[in-house]
Structure 1
């Protein structure tokens, strides 16, 4: 059963959704475009590999924590206030990063950026699920998901060009643009009345510990972090059982269709993140392409997903989310199989296969995001979206780290074989997504 949400101001959907898509684009781009500037930052502040890795790992950890925290807060607080807070943190972090004179200030700026950027996409999806009518929801969701796909493809290319022209500080100037979105977005969003409820800060802290330890265990292979993760999960489980208003609603974890939907979305993100991790390395190591050439090879796929956003939304309306989720994985499987069979011999195959996989991943993720509001009430939508975002981000970031470890441990000296086997692994992941889509549709 869905519940209405009291508002005291009109929702200007035609203005709000494009502004949210732009905010999501900048938030996701900030995750991907910064990596290309790490060598320059290392030289500027004389940072070693371990210190430099914290700029990436710290951002990822804080982003994952923020994604579920803001979405959970949306069950009790005004979405307009939360989105303004996100954009303010994102912009202030950008200003601090731009003016940083040492590694500590730079890290602080990145962490503050993550606190803001991590909540943008989740809150956008909550707002669409809560306020956009079902007849237009697919179109709005497709625009947000397409902006995400564009950001993943555009980020490395834009980061490389900006860093080459204006240095690494210019990346912070681009992301500071979010401050210009605050006023028009504030005017276009509804002012919701507060809802009764108690926020579980203890549970939020435990989820933060679990996320942090898991990311550290995956990215650094730390045994201590793995043990700490297991202990934190056990403690979180006890806390959920004993709390009257737990941070993670146990009814969401017990909802089998919802968890299956989360698994499908998580696997799709794993495929996309891993491709964006493997393709630049394969194109450089096997075909000798420069970073700019690699970016130009990947970018058309991301751009095409935006161009086809309206077609994807029409497919969701005409055929339904469940049928799209059942059919899209087969395009992912075909694209991954083409990469395994031909991409190490022909560079152009990598670009063509990525065109296919990114469009199908975008359609699949749009279906998952559009289906979610149908499974939960408005009162639980924020927590459900936050949980979904957390699963997807950790799955995507973790899969890239695992692939990096596999390449170093199992395929040293045989890069071509490594890429072939890993692409076949992604194709098998696509098969699991297809099975999940069929099971979900039949359920």
Structure 2
């Protein structure tokens, strides 16, 4: 049984809401962990196929590239086609790629398997944020909070699970998690409301041009290949031209000119780049300064990831009660405080670092849920899919960009000047300065967001 809203939009049956949210979060865990688990398996894959680091890196680079672009494409498709059909296609592709990866006899087949996985897996985060906005409007904030905390939890647990599974069994067994996701299809098809195809067209040239732009930027950032800058520049020029001249462009100029939308997306981009930058730097720092092994590093990360997983529902209810704007500010304050804490105590006992991580991790689900909820009130219903899709794309790009930039900074191995006056001098200086920069980015995001929404306040969500 499906319920109709005041706008004749189908809503999820209240009796099935909890089941649907649980199932979505379970599938989302498989998808997010699929990305992070393979980080720790890269050395084993390189050894198995006798690959150079630059070759094996495409196991992650290719996945991130297709996954990021797909999150935008599926968001656009969700504005036209029924969500349950898109999810069915995505989960079949995701499981098919995993099956191929499990038995891949050589590296090209493994790479193809990862690309197929990404093509399907991108539907999950893309639509997980659209489903609450479209079908569960009365509990939108709470559901966004649960989904965001699931992403944070899976991001933290993924490397631990990857290390245990890869170490005890083999990296091939990491694909089994993705294969299980196909079991969710019959339940999703039963619990997600039926929809009619909406009027609209997909601007294929515009989609190709923006995909080329994103691909060029990500390839250059992650690999440094010079030709990627040409692909980026040409794609960007053609996308702008197509957007200004097409009758039905892939992304309408009105969305890009919406200042509140632009500031909210920019805020999320900056906040997410800080959080993923932290997740990237922390394992390197703990191994370098504290000489911890992979399991010990995972145990330092685990309390924060678990706390992020537990706070989601409470954070979502806070959004529903207080509105999105104050929760965005709270999230950025927590992120800035946590990274400043890590900057100050870099090189101290890992227990101290774990406590600092706990503060930062608490900001993760809050910033994702509050900005996603805010976007659902800013963007028109006809553009919810592409609006949230672009939001997801930029969040994934922020993770890739942050990892590449901070990785190159860490290649310098040391720094002479200590910028944090509260930190001690020593081998920790480069890490202290990096985390101080992350804190500054969070504060800049807070300033940008506060100024915009002070000028143009929103009614309570």
TM-score tier by shorter-chain length is over 0.9
Q: Which residue of 2 aligns with 1:126?
A: 130
Deviations 1:43-74 (A, max 9, x none): 11111122101111111100011100000000
1:10 CA displacement:
5.6
Determine the C-alpha separation between the residues in 2 that align with 1:248 and 1:318.
Answer: 32
Q: How does 1:425-436 map to 2 (within 5 A)?
A: 425-436=437-448
Q: How does 1:54-133 map to 2 (within 5 A)?
A: 54-133=58-137
Q: How does 1:382-421 map to 2 (within 5 A)?
A: 382-409=385-412, 411=414, 416-421=428-433
- Name the structure, 1 or 2, with higher relative contact order (CA <8 Å, separation 6+): 1
Unaligned runs of 5+ in 1: none
The RMSD of aligned alpha carbons is 1.8
Determine the C-alpha separation between the residues in 2 that align with 1:273 and 1:153.
Answer: 10
Deviations 1:119-164 (A, max 9, x none): 2112111111011123x11111111101100111000000000101
Determine the C-alpha separation between the residues in 1 that align with 2:433 and 2:89.
Answer: 44
Deviations 1:312-333 (A, max 9, x none): 1221122211111122211111
Q: Which residue of 2 aligns with 1:224?
A: 227
Deviations 1:56-115 (A, max 9, x none): 111110001110000000011000001111111111111010010100110011111111
Unaligned runs of 5+ in 2: 417-425, 457-461
TM-score (norm 2): 0.92
Determine the C-alpha separation between the residues in 1 that align with 2:9 and 2:122.
Answer: 26
How many pairs were matched up? Answer: 441
Instruction: Choose from 133, 136, 150 the match for 1:147.
Output: 150
Partner-residue secondary structure (3-state), 2:348 = coil
Q: Does the C-alpha gap of structure 1 residues 63 and 394 become closer, same or farther in structure 2, counting only changes over 3 Å?
A: same
Are 2:9 and 2:135, in contact at CA under 8 Å, matched by a contact in 1?
A: no
Q: Which residue of 1 aligns with 2:302?
A: 299
Q: Does the C-alpha gap of structure 1 residues 3 and 390 become closer, same or farther in structure 2, counting only changes over 3 Å?
A: farther
Q: Which moved more, 1:93-102 or 1:216-225?
A: 216-225
Q: Which moved more, 1:17-26 or 1:57-66?
A: 17-26
Determine the C-alpha separation between the residues in 1 that align with 2:7 and 2:105.
Answer: 49
Are 1:326 and 1:441, in contact at CA under 8 Å, matched by a contact in 2?
A: no
TM-score (norm 1): 0.96
Q: Which residue of 2 aligns with 1:51?
A: 55
Determine the C-alpha separation between the residues in 2 that align with 1:44 and 1:5.
Answer: 55
Determine the C-alpha separation between the residues in 2 that align with 1:257 and 1:3.
Answer: 26
Q: Which residue of 2 aligns with 1:422?
A: 434
Task: Give yes or no for the alignment of 1:250 onto 2:253.
Answer: yes
